[in-house]
Chain A
Amino acid sequence: AQTVTQSQPEMSVQEAETVTLSCTYDTSESNYYLFWYKQPPSRQMILVIRQEAYKQQNATENRFSVNFQKAAKSFSLKISDSQLGDTAMYFCAFILPYISGAGSYQLTFGKGTKLSVIP
């Protein structure tokens, strides 16, 4: 079974500064996908960034980037130039590849990290 661990229940960062959220996971599979989702106070889950395990290059999306360390099973999220709108719960998630006719698309979530951006 796959597990996802987020060891930081809460974090805070000053506006315009950089913050890193940590995530570790456990799996015996070699091919999988990792995601960071953001849940602001509106509670709408928003995809922030995704990483395919077979790609060595770290994914980036504007101010968001990941540090994917496959051997260490680590998938941290770096937010640069933090903005007030980044205040949210951040969930790390894991999924195995869908194989036609046999996949289930089931995501495994971590418990989340509450990030507060301070003006």
Chain B
Amino acid sequence: GAVVSQHPSRVICKSGTSVKIECRSLDFQATTMFWYRQFPKQSLMLMATSNEGSKATYEQGVEKDKFLINHASLTLSTLTVTSAHPEDSSFYICSAPGLAGGLQETQYFGPGTRLLVL
């Protein structure tokens, strides 16, 4: 249980185009999901908190208009990188909290999406 999927696993796009990344909780409902960005050999950097049925909460320094987040259902959150540029190239990971041994604070992570903008 508590499986989170992401699609696509990797994507290459041209500068100026938009890319959508999907994050799904497969066997549980997630009213909250998190989007992280990870640079090579670094830790995860929280970008935003995605809330089902309401606006996402963005961390300081993250451009809301560049990284659009939609959480339209209890099992799906999407991150759209708009007008992507080479500096947006990175590894993007989503996570969702799920019950594990009664501990709802445990988070489960998707496998990540590697974005390369040419």
Contacts and interface: CB of A to CB of B under 8 A. Distances in A.
A97 B105 contact: yes
Listed residue (B93, B100, B106) with the most chain A CB atoms within 10 angstroms of its CB: B106
A43 B95 contact: no
Interface of B: 32, 34, 38, 41-44, 46, 49, 91, 93, 95, 97, 100, 103-109, 111-112
A44 B91 CA distance: 11
Contacts of B97: 98, 105
Interface of A: 33, 35, 37, 42-47, 50, 52, 91, 95, 97-98, 104-107, 109-112, 114
B34 A47 contact: no
9 contacts: A33-B106, A43-B111, A44-B109, A50-B100, A95-B105, A106-B49, A107-B46, A107-B95, A112-B42
A44 B3 CA distance: 12
Given A44-B111, A109-B43, A109-B44, A52 B103 contact: yes
